[in-house]
Amino acid sequence: MKNALPGKYGVTFIGHMCYDEVTHFNGDTIVAPGSAVLCGAMVTSRVGVKTAAVVKMSLDEEKINQPMKDRGVDVFVIPADCTTYSKVVHESENVDERKITLIRTAGLIKAEDVPELDSRFVHLCGVSDSEFDMDLIDGLKARGYSLSTDMQSFVRQITPVTHEINFGDVINKKEIISRMDRVKLDVVEARVLTGTDDLEKASLIVESWGCPEIMITNSRGVLARVNGVTHYEKFSNNSVIGRTGRGDTTFAAYLAWRLEHDVSESLKFAAALVSIKMELYGPFQGTVEDVYRRIKEKHS
């Protein structure tokens, strides 16, 4: 592991880089570099936030990090025997219902693998339960980071024989969430963890487990529950062709804007940005000006 570069980061993302093979309900299949880290880092870097990415992957495939590097992201690679590869199949028109199979995984990330970066926010964003454990969480908390996680990193559980991802409750969910300054879920994960797909009811339950800032997305929009107050913003996308990475993009945009803005403004910015992203394949490719324009047209 090389040493961290000098300078303070706004956001650091930790997780696997991977390849995503996505089959849409209409039958189209796209294979491209993906991961929550890629989606997140491309957002924060495009809106002007100094960004780091700590990724576990095969050194033979580092070329897939180039889009992040081209955007000025500092990438730190934890070597692994393979790079994670996932298959996502949309079997119905409901974009929140997906069959996910993890063909291979780069494995758990250890606290000692993560360089000590000077970062205001650190976000754990995995694609399955094969990436993070409590030792890593406690190790990062001991460094004093403002820590967040996407609960897909724990709810998405790999079946040993078929490698299919099943969504299951998390035994130590309260311990994980209580250690977080912010937590992200989508409606499916919220239902699995709390027993309800009502966004506000779910956020209240998660809040009671000790996290002061909760975001939950569904196909229609995004809710944030922060310090006892609920905020909500609808999406304005005209298509769902770029639905993969919706939650990762939403939360990354929110984190980027929360560095300097209040909850309401950050939520509106995130909803507008991800609405643009969902209309195209791949990570967000727009600009801050594009987001401002969308806010003026659809979110004012």
Cβ-contact 284, 250 below 8 angstroms: no
Cβ-contact 202, 223 below 8 angstroms: no
**Percentage, residues of the chain above pLDDT 90:** 82
Q: What is the DSSP letter of 164?
A: B
Give mean pLDDT, residues 260-285. 94
DSSP result, 226-277: ETTEEEEEE---S--TT-TTHHHHHHHHHHHHHTTS-HHHHHHHHHHHHHHH
For the cut 80, the answer to whether the pLDDT of residue 40 exceeds it is yes
Position 245 scores a pLDDT of 82
Mean pLDDT comparison of 30-39, 170-179, 273-282, highest-scoring range? 170-179
Q: Kindly list the domain boundaries of the chain, sorted by start residue.
A: 9-298
pTM of the complete model? 0.92
Give mean pLDDT, residues 84-109. 87
Q: What is the DSSP letter of 127?
A: S
**N-to-C CA span, the chain:** 46
Half-sphere exposure of 207 (CA within 13 A, CB side): 19
Mean of pLDDT over the chain: 93
Lowest mean pLDDT among 19-33, 97-111, 165-179, 199-213: 19-33
46's tokens? 């495009």
How confident is residue 283, by pLDDT bands cut at 50, 70 and 90? confident
Position 2 scores a pLDDT of 41
How confident is residue 81, by pLDDT bands cut at 50, 70 and 90? very high
How confident is residue 98, by pLDDT bands cut at 50, 70 and 90? confident
**Percentage, residues of the chain above pLDDT 70:** 97
- Cα–Cα distance, 176 to 170 (Å, whole number): 9
Position 32 scores a pLDDT of 85
Q: Per-residue pLDDT tens for 114-131?
A: 999 999 999 999 999 999
For the cut 60, the answer to whether the pLDDT of residue 3 exceeds it is no
CATH number of 9-298: 3.40.1190.20
Residues facing residue 152 across a β-bridge: none
- Cα–Cα distance, 88 to 229 (Å, whole number): 35
Q: Per-residue pLDDT tens for 237-267?
A: 998 887 878 999 999 999 999 999 999 999 9
82 three-state secondary structure: coil
Largest CA distance in the chain: 50
C-alpha gyration radius of the chain: 17
Q: What is the DSSP letter of 113?
A: G
Determine phi and psi for 117, rounding to 5 degrees. -100, 145
Determine phi and psi for 241, rounding to 5 degrees. -60, -30
- Distance, C-alpha 10 to centroid of its chain: 16
86 three-state secondary structure: strand
Checking 57-63 for CB contacts under 8 A at 24+ apart, the result is 57/16, 57/17, 57/18, 57/83, 57/84, 57/106, 58/82, 58/83, 58/106, 61/17
For the cut 60, the answer to whether the pLDDT of residue 205 exceeds it is yes
Position 7 scores a pLDDT of 52
Position 64 scores a pLDDT of 95
For the cut 80, the answer to whether the pLDDT of residue 50 exceeds it is yes
